[in-house]
Every structure is written in structure tokens, then in C-alpha cells.
Structure 1
Amino acid sequence: MRDIFMLGILPLLVYLMAKRPFIGLGMWVWTALFFPNAWVYGAASSIRYNLLFTGVSILSYMVMKNKPKFLPGGLGCLVFLFFIWTTFSTMFTIGRPDVAWEIWTRFAKIITLFVFVLLIIEKKLHVDFMLGCVVLSVGFYANLESLKFIVSGGNHMIHGMSGHVLGDRNELAVAFCMTLPICYYLLGEYGKRSQIMRLGLMGTMALLVFGVVGTQSRGGFIALTVLAAYLFLKSERKILVGILGIILIAVIAQIASDDWLGRINTIETATDDASFMGRVVAWKLSFILAMQNPFFGGGFKSLENFAVWLELSRDFFSYPWFYTGDRLPNTEFARAAHSVYFQVLGEHGFVGLGLYVTMLVTAFLKAGSVARQARQRGAPNWLRTLATMLQLSIFAFSVGAAALSFAYFDLIFALIGLVIVLEKRVLPSAIPATLAAPIDHSQLAKTSLPIQ
């Protein structure tokens, strides 16, 4: 049935994407996050949807008239500079070159998505459609899995799909947290227009929270807690948000399993937790990798090369101030860095980490700046809310991915692209003409009233 539906609707989707590039871009994001091939079987599963939608989007843009001007700004240049730096680190990798270039190719596709966000998105409709596609991918999966979690009485553990970018439950939890502010923005914009939209988005927000709990991800829980506090402070509906939060906490407390409560309680005693300290060992080896290759690092996936892992382990005691408790490097297999920051540090050196962190911080501050300017210069309220929610999504990623090897996630680069679009295109066009136009003091002097 799903095959028939997908094959039946596919020609219409391709037609709409060919007519409107922003639709193609939204579907590009949808396929990257939803992984439609895992949902269909037979003939429909043999189609490479992401490649198809990407190709149609690019061709649709190429024939589009009146293309908007490409305005990457300083933030966009940071993203490009970081990509260029990863190219050099791949060229000089100390790991397996074939693996490094494979990951570089995937990252190049993500940067291509980022570029076309800057090329295609130019107004509110485009932004809303793209964010709606995010909700229809990550949010849809959260709805299905969270309902299973609730029906099972909290015994169903939520995992991502095997082979997908969100296959790991910890990474899935971070994606759930990043989607929450997007739902909040769409709720404010479309919840008043449709009862179905309001109930659907409110339900999705609640199920996203249950989804984070259902993954049993400690990093996801920390990100959710910090995000909830930040959302409460930023929200103009503090009473409503507070009431909903209390209701959700009460329901979660009733259905959360003992396993989940036990995992969350280990946050207080992280230094005694073998799993967490094992991650600290990986962080220390990533640091040693950067110390030995400070300029370009070791290249993509270099830490996960067992030969490199063993070689780094020889210097494990060279930095005694880097505390790892009684945990030592594994002598049977290598591990991932388990932190976007240590991941980038080890793979691309101190310069690469500086570029990456500067990129995230700049995107966060720029989103806040857009929200502030929207308020001060008389732009519509939706723009201020949108900028604030994008800021929260970036914040959720920065906190939640601090213990995950998740540095090259499609969604974070797409959201950074949207922040640039808001600053360079949407905000200037949304400011009332009387406030946007510069004041002509000479004309003002000519039209002043004469002194009586």
C-alpha cells in the first residue's frame, strides 16, 4: 500500500518541484531526515529519492527566472571556510583515505544543501514550507515511536532506523529537541487558522518530548531540560508553557520505566559511570590526536581507525590533568569521539575546531540579532518568533551534541542557512518602508514649517 501511494504521488511531487524550486528544496530536506526508502518495499524502494529530489531542485533553480542574489555574509563564509579546511584535513588524513573521502563526500552534499538554502529561500512561504518538511520527517517519526512508547507503558525503547543519519537513539533525541522550537513557531503561525493544525502541532510537541524520554538518552534529556528552561524564558506565553510543562512531567513520571529513571540518575554521578567515563577516554584521545596533528588534525574518522587508536593510547598518560578516572583506552576496538567538539578537534585540528565553534556561536548570536532588530524596527511578530526559535534549535544542538559524534548533521547546516536568509533577505523586506528608507535631511529642511 505504501509503495502504491509513493509511486502514485511521485510524478505530482516531481512536477511541483520542477515548477517551484522551494518545494524541491523542502523535499530535499524531507528525504534527508525521513529516509523514505526504509518505509517502502518492492519497486518503490529501488528509487533514490534524495538524489532524485536533489537533482530536480537544482535543475528547477537553474531554469528559474529572477534568481535572488547570493548573499552568504560573514556566517556563510565561515561555513565555506570550515568545509575548505575539512578538505585539506582529508587530503592529509592519517586514517584510511577511502573512509575519509567517503565522509567528505557526504559532507559536501550537506554543504550543497546549505548553498541552495541561500540560493532559493527568499520569503516567509519558502521558510515555512521547509520547516514544515522538517516536522513531517522528524516530527512524524516521533509521533509513531512515542505512541508505541506510551502504549507499552514506557517499556518501548525508541531507536532510529538502521543505516539512517538518525539511526542512533542519542542522535535521534537531539533531532527531536531541535524540532520542538520549529513546531512552536509553526503552531503560532498556523494554529490559529486551523483546529486540525493546532491540535496536530500541539500533539507533535508533546510526543517529541515523550520521544526524547523514550530514547533513554541522557544527553537528549539534558538538552530537553535546558531547552525547556530557555523556551520558558523566551516565550510570551509563560503561563501556558508552564502549565503544559507540568502536565507533561506528571504524565512522564507515571509511564517512565525504572531503566530510564536509573539512567537519568547516573547524570548526578557521571564520574562513577563506566559508560560516561569511556566517552571521556575517547575525548582525551581526540585531544592527543589534535596535539600530535594540531594544524589539520587526523582527518575524518581517523580516531575510529584502530591502528591510530592504539598509537594514540601510547601517549595516554602524557596528560595526567585530563581526568578519566580508572578508565583506560580499549585494546580491542576503537571508539568514536562522542562529542561534536572533540570530534572536530581530533579530525580537523585546533583551527578546525575554532572555525566550527565560531560558526555555531555566530549563528546563535545572529538569530538573536535578527529577533532583536525585528522588534526594534517594526517587523511582523512572526519574524521575531521565527528567529528566536531557530536560535533555540541551534542551542539545543550545541548542548545535546556535546556528547555525540554528530558534527556534520544536515539539519544544523540547513538552519544556519535559514538564519542567513532571515538576516539578508527576509528582515530587510519585512521592515516597513518608512523605517527602512534612510532619512533625507535636506528634504526634511525644505519641507519644515516656516517660523511665524
Structure 2
Amino acid sequence: MIDLCLTAFLCFYLALGCKRPFLWVLAYLYVDIVAPQIISWGILSHIPTSLIFFAAAFAGWLFFDDKTDSRFSGRQALIFLLLLYCGYSTLVADFPKEAAEKWSWVWKALVFAMFLPLTLRTRLRIEAVILVMVLSASAIIIDGAIKTIGGGGGYGALRFFVDNNTGLYEGSIISCVAIAIIPLILWLARHGTVFPPDWRVWTFAGALIFACALIPVGTQARTGLICLGILAVLYLRTAKHRFLIVALMSGAVALAVPFLPASYTERMGTIENNQSDKSASTRLAVWKWTLGYVGSHPFGGGFEVYLGNTLRFETVVAQTSGSTTILRTQVQEDSGRAFHSSYFEMLGEQGIPGFLLWLTLQISGLLQMEMIRRRWRKRTGADEQWQAPLAVSLQLAHVIYLFGSLFVGIAFQPFILMLIGVQCGLWTYLRRVEPKLAGQLAQRRATRVRTNAVTA
């Protein structure tokens, strides 16, 4: 039944796109985030669903969409350069077969991030993309939150729709994304036009934010806890009643801790004491190896180059005998361990040039959103109230991703590249419409002045 429903839903989407081709763009967002082809065990699992909607999205824009207002920005050029560089590094990779497997989905994520802004010609389209991204991720998040409440969580044990550990179905990645979309949920609840704000929208938004906060608990991913703390600090920066909010948050944490599973509190405790945690020690060893590798290979080794690492590190083990605790150092050896950090992932795989391209892409997004916020925050026009809050929400989501990616290898995560595509689309859209809005405002002021003069 699930397979039939998913197939019928996607066929319905394809049919609707024949009349409104932009719907194929939204359909691809859904397919790439939720991945219904891996949930299905029937027809969808045997056809290239993602590739079909990827091609449909491009064909719909190329042959049927109005391209008059489409713009290509500097950040899209950065994505294109990064695409070319990654393609070259794949050709000369240390592990050609493994690199080709990763390249098979990375190129598609980069191309779509570069293409998406060209389709975002109106506010409605920008909002629709954000809405579909949030709701698609929420399908996974709500499923995980329900299982967490039912006691089905645990590190590496929380299963979402399927027993799969790729994409957003991986615990640390979904924890990061769940916290990152909270600002976007709030923006949709306040400024959405597809679902105008009312008590139903706010009720769903509140429940969804609660579900997002439960994901780090259910997955027991330390990345999610760090992202949640960073988001709280960022919101306190602009809050009016900071001390009251801090007091309430502290009280909520104090009340929640006794109800958290012991395995969760023990795992979060390893953030503070990383020497006793083999996972943390391994990551530090991998990062040290990466710096050494880049020193001798400044252009990187291509995708999956970590497979060539050999590690030797020390961990501290506490042995208790009666009232005496003795700390002993143990030497561990390992090999072929992943980077577990987007920054070291880029350094190791794409070298210094690729890392600088990627970092410039990230930082320029934060700067652009800040410029939009400052330019639009004091405007009072009827259609000038949503731009600055959206820029802030996209900026906050991006900051959460940058902090979360310190501990997770998600440099090319498609969801984040979609977020960057929305930033590019918002930037080009506002640069195009701002002169028109300024002209309309000047015209209204002139009309008001003439009316006042005649009245006087």
C-alpha cells in the first residue's frame, strides 16, 4: 500500500507539472530529501526516480518557463568553479572507483544548487521552495520524534522510515538539519502566504519545532546538542528579555535531564572528556593525518581519500578498584576512517584550492544575508516586511550548518546546497525588484504630497 501511494503521488506530481513546470522543481526537492525510492520496495526502487525528476525540473525551466527575470550571480559562478574542480579531482583521485561513486551524486547536487536560483523569480516561488524543503525534512523528523517519545532512540539505533544510514537518514546529519530548519519554520509561521498565519499554523509550527528538538535526543548525536546550543545563543543575541529566557531555558533543561535516558547523558558527557572516547580520539587522529596529507598533497586526493589513512592514537581508560581510580593510557590503531568534519573533508579531498572555494561560498552567503537584513530591516511598506526576517532565518540556518559540519562530513549535503540555492535566489530576486519597489514608494509619496497640497 505504501509503495502504491508513493508511486501515485509522484505520478500526480508529474502530471501537474505539465501545466505548471515549476512543480517539477518542487517535486525534485521532495524526491532528493525524502528519497521515496529507498522507502519503496516495488516499482520506485527499480527506476531512477531522482534522475527523472532532475531531468524534468531542468526541461520544464528550459522549454516552458519564463526566463526573462532569471539571473546568474557570483555565488552561482563559485558553485560552477567548485563543480569543475571536483570533476578534475575525481579524474586524478587516489581511489578512482570510490571517488566515482561519490561524484555520481555530488555533481547533481552542485548542478541543482546552481540551477535552482534561476527558477526563483517571485516571492511565491521562494516561499514554495522553503516550504517543500521544510515539510520534506519534517516527514523524517516527525517519524523520528514519535519513535523517540516511544523509547525507540539510541545512538545508531533510531530508525526512521527505513533501515538506512545515508543522506538525511543518518543520525548526525538529520540532527544538524533538524535544528537548522527551526528558523525557517518560524519564518513560514510568521510570514507565509501559502498557509497564512493563524492558530493552526502556529500549533503545527510549535509541534514541529518540538519534534526538531527531540531528534538530537533520539539519535544521541552530539552534533545536534551543539547545534541546539548555538541556535539558543544566536536567538538570545536579539531577544528583548534575555535573562528571563535564560532562566526559563535553564529550568526546562533541569526538568528534562531526569527524564533523559542514561545512555544519552553518558554520551553527551564525552563532549567534555574526549580522551576517554575512542570516537573523539579517532577524529582528532584523522584530522591530524589530513593536515599532514595536505602538506604533501596541496591539491587533495579526490573523493574518499580518507581510505588511505593509517592512524595511531592514545585513549585514556579509567580502572576502578574499590575507592581507587587509576587512569591508564592505551595505544589504538585504525585505518580508513572518515573525516567526520566538512572542513577536513574539503581539505583532504579537494585540497587547499577546493577548500578555499567552498569556504568562500559559505562566507559570502552569510555576508549577503546580512546585507539584505540591513537594507530591508527598517522598511515599513506592505510588501517589505518579509525580506529581512527571511534573510535572518537563512543566515541562522547556515550558521547552524557551519557549526554542525565541524563534526560531520556534509560538505556536499544536497539539503544544504539547496539552502545555498535559496540564498542565491533571494539575493538576485531582491536586487531585481528593489528598484521597482523604490519607484513605487516614491510615486506614492509624490501622490500623497499632491493630495495634501490640494487639500490645504
Same fold (TM over 0.5): yes
CA distance in 2, matches of 1:356, 1:155: 33
CA distance in 2, matches of 1:421, 1:283: 35
Q: 1:91 to 1:203 in 2, by over 3 A?
A: same
Where does residue 422 of structure 1 map in the other structure?
Answer: 426
Q: Any conservation in 2 of the 1:145–1:211 contact (CA below 8 Å)?
A: yes
Where does residue 448 of structure 2 map in the other structure?
Answer: none
Deviates more, 1:389-398 or 1:144-153: 144-153
Q: Deviations over 1:69-114 (max 9, x none)?
A: 4433222222222222222222222x22122122223111001211
CA distance in 1, matches of 2:252, 2:39: 30
Where does residue 381 of structure 1 map in the other structure?
Answer: 385
Gaps of 5+ in 1: 317-324, 440-448
CA distance in 2, matches of 1:185, 1:414: 17
Gaps of 5+ in 2: 314-327, 444-452
Q: Any conservation in 1 of the 2:365–2:423 contact (CA below 8 Å)?
A: yes
Where does residue 302 of structure 2 map in the other structure?
Answer: 299
Q: 1:309 to 1:407 in 2, by over 3 A?
A: same
Q: How many residues align?
A: 424
Report deviation, 1:430. 5.3
Report deviation, 1:434. 3.5
Report deviation, 1:120. 0.8
Letter in 1 for 2:260: A
Deviates more, 1:74-83 or 1:421-430: 421-430
CA distance in 2, matches of 1:68, 1:277: 54
Q: Deviations over 1:307-346 (max 9, x none)?
A: x324xx69x9xxxxxxxx9786734x41011110011101
Where does residue 89 of structure 1 map in the other structure?
Answer: 89
3-state DSSP of counterpart to 2:420: helix
Where does residue 171 of structure 2 map in the other structure?
Answer: 169
Q: 1:289 to 1:133 in 2, by over 3 A?
A: same
CA distance in 2, matches of 1:292, 1:303: 15
Q: Any conservation in 2 of the 1:278–1:327 contact (CA below 8 Å)?
A: no
Where does residue 124 of structure 2 map in the other structure?
Answer: 125
CA RMSD of aligned residues (A): 3.1
Asked if 1:410 corresponds to 2:414, the answer is: yes
Report deviation, 1:428. 3.9
Q: 1:77 to 1:10 in 2, by over 3 A?
A: closer
Where does residue 270 of structure 1 map in the other structure?
Answer: 274
Q: Any conservation in 1 of the 2:341–2:406 contact (CA below 8 Å)?
A: yes
Where does residue 134 of structure 2 map in the other structure?
Answer: 135
Q: 1:166 to 1:406 in 2, by over 3 A?
A: same
CA distance in 2, matches of 1:163, 1:291: 32
CA distance in 2, matches of 1:66, 1:45: 34
Asked if 1:349 corresponds to 2:351, the answer is: yes
Letter in 2 for 1:151: G
Where does residue 320 of structure 1 map in the other structure?
Answer: none
CA distance in 2, matches of 1:118, 1:247: 43
CA distance in 2, matches of 1:110, 1:300: 15
Where does residue 100 of structure 2 map in the other structure?
Answer: 101
3-state DSSP of counterpart to 1:330: strand
Q: Any conservation in 1 of the 2:72–2:118 contact (CA below 8 Å)?
A: no
Letter in 2 for 1:277: S
Among candidates 340, 343, 346, match of residue 342 of structure 2: 340
More strand by share: 2
Report deviation, 1:243. 8.9
Q: Structure 1 length as normaliser, TM-score?
A: 0.85
Where does residue 114 of structure 2 map in the other structure?
Answer: 115
Q: Structure 2 length as normaliser, TM-score?
A: 0.84
CA distance in 2, matches of 1:37, 1:251: 41
Deviates more, 1:5-14 or 1:141-150: 5-14
Letter in 1 for 2:67: K
Where does residue 46 of structure 2 map in the other structure?
Answer: 46
Deviates more, 1:199-208 or 1:162-171: 162-171
Letter in 2 for 1:362: S
Q: Kindly, what percent of the aligned residue pairs are identical?
A: 23
Among candidates 214, 217, 228, match of residue 218 of structure 2: 214
Q: Any conservation in 1 of the 2:306–2:348 contact (CA below 8 Å)?
A: yes
Q: 1:10 to 1:104 in 2, by over 3 A?
A: closer
Among candidates 393, 398, 411, match of residue 394 of structure 1: 398
Asked if 1:55 corresponds to 2:55, the answer is: yes
